[in-house]
Amino acid sequence: MAPKETLIVDCDTGIDDALALLYLLHDPDVDIRAVTTVFGNTDADTAADNSLRVLELVGRQHIPVAVGARSNWRGTFSPAPSVHGDDGLGDTGLPAPRSTPISEPAAELIVRLARESPGELHLLAIGPLTNLATALLLEPKLPDLVKHVTVMGGAIHHPGNATPAAEANIHNDPEAAGMVLQAGWNVTLVPLDVTMAEVLTEEVKNRLGAADSPVATFAATILEHYLDFYEQDVFGVRRAACHDPLAAAIAVGDVPVVLGPIVAVEVETGDGPARGVTIADTRGKYRGFPAQEGASVRVVLATERTFPGRLAEQLCGSPGAGSRHVA
């Protein structure tokens, strides 16, 4: 039986990336071919270490992890320890991994796997887009080799979280993001418009904490740190955004997209206050979003707002049967 999606997960493994990985790893019908890491929530090497920790937690250490870009194309990088903890996983002390990343760089791995399985791979990018843009430079035909790309990033009709107008993943490398979103492949963009509406709550954390499972206990522990940040700095109450897990669930078809027009999207790369802003042409909403010539980005603007319960249910269950391939 063919998997419902065959993924490369490109991430900057902090708390919500870990939750996204755990969600996917608990689905026996999802084939994770590889994990690639990038700077963002933490540095790329720590992100790889964290990814290995999460994979080993569920007995999936055979999935290869490759380290990618350590900074954006301007050579800068600013981690987010206040959000994700000094270790990127809420300072929870998850045991160090026994395995290590593979030597192949992330962008090269993406290109190689795409060439080996043309039309099969779905790229799920839940960090800055530097690895994907680098892969495009290595293989200009990559859009013809990849089945789909799902990106957690951007803010369309919503305030930013890195600046007043820009979302963090896009703002961390606007030049790379612009290249990826304009490459002509089929992209689903999951912006703050929906990830800030699908909120994780104390109830979700308590449900995870009550489950008799190492995975659910770990998820509840890192979510405690996440809720602390969002209560203090964002919402003023104990609820947290559901960024990367929502994008993962949309990528594998588990969350219905209530409104997702295919529109033209550009990224502002100037040095002013609009740097990193995602500009989507949503003027067609008054006419039911007619087709836009040359547009290839489906922008998710509304979901059912019921996903956090599904996330908790999945993480309280048993991990999936395992990926079908090893790179």
Residue spans per domain, the chain: 5-316
pLDDT digit string, tens, across residues 130-183: 999 999 999 999 999 999 999 999 999 999 999 999 999 999 999 999 999 999
What's the CA gap between 14 and 192, in Å, rounded?
17
pLDDT at position 319 is: 83
How large is the average pLDDT for residues 116-125? 98
pLDDT digit string, tens, across residues 192-238: 999 999 999 999 999 999 998 999 999 999 999 999 999 999 999 99
262-263, strands of its sheet edge to edge:
65-67, 30-37, 5-11, 121-125, 148-152, 187-190, 297-299, 262-263
pLDDT digit string, tens, across residues 69-111: 999 999 999 999 999 999 999 999 899 999 999 999 999 999 9
Q: Is the pLDDT score of 44 beyond 80?
A: yes
Counting residues of the chain whose pLDDT is more than 70, the rounded percentage is: 98
Known catalytic residue at 243: yes
Q: Which of 12, 16, 31, 49 is catalytic?
A: 12
Would strands 239-241 and 278-280 be described as parallel, antiparallel, or unpaired? unpaired
pLDDT at position 325 is: 37
How large is the average pLDDT for residues 13-27? 98
Look up residue 215 and give its two tokens: 């995975």
CATH of 5-316, one of 3.30.1360.70, 3.90.245.10, 3.40.1280.10, 3.90.1650.10: 3.90.245.10
pLDDT at position 327 is: 39
Known catalytic residue at 26: no
Q: Which of 122, 243, 244, 254 is catalytic?
A: 243
pLDDT at position 323 is: 39
What's the CA gap between 139 and 137, in Å, rounded?
6
Torsion, CA 249, CA 252, CA 258, CA 260, rounded to 10:
110
